[in-house]
Amino acid sequence: MSERHAYRTNVQWSTKRKGKLSTFGMPTIEVATPPEFPSGHPDIWSPEHLFVGAAEVCLMTTFLAIAEKSKLQFVNYVSEAEGTLEKTESGFQVTTIVIRPKVTVTVAEDLQRAVKLLHKAEAHCLISNSMKTTVSIEPEAVLAQLP
């Protein structure tokens, strides 16, 4: 794998405080100012949502890679994340992101191992490591309910 990668996106303003985010070969998504701001739009992805989502997705993909290399058997991964936007001395900033990943395993012996691997993923997540925002996790591992 190369030591350097470039990721390109394009934004095209559409109307009011809305636009379209795209890149070659991927679906275009509608983006807008969030509803909490003047003239913001509900139900449309905002930069704030995408910022929080980037950290959350990175944790998942990093965990998936680490779990695969570690041969952790699991049947589900789900998470939720919450970013806090607040006014600071230098203006509005997302100051914290808390990600709550939940991994379902089939063997009780893997419960602690799954949490350990989630923390390892947190330490190696390249997106959150690139942010000045404080990103933390509240991991959970549960045992699958077998029929």
For 9-38, the pLDDT digits (tens) are: 999 999 999 999 999 999 999 999 999 999
pTM, entire model: 0.94
Q: Angle formed by the axes of helices 111-124 and 47-70, to 10°?
A: 130
pLDDT the model gives residue 83: 98
In this prediction, residue 145 carries a pLDDT of 87
**CATH number attached to the domain at 47-143:** 3.30.300.20
Average pLDDT, the chain: 96
Could you tell me the pLDDT band of residue 146, with boundaries at 50, 70 and 90?
A: confident
**pLDDT per residue over 43-69, tens digit each?**
999 999 999 999 999 999 999 999 999
Domain extents for the chain? 1-45, 47-143
Q: How far is CA 35 from CA 41, 79, 85, 96, 110, in A?
A: 5, 24, 13, 20, 42
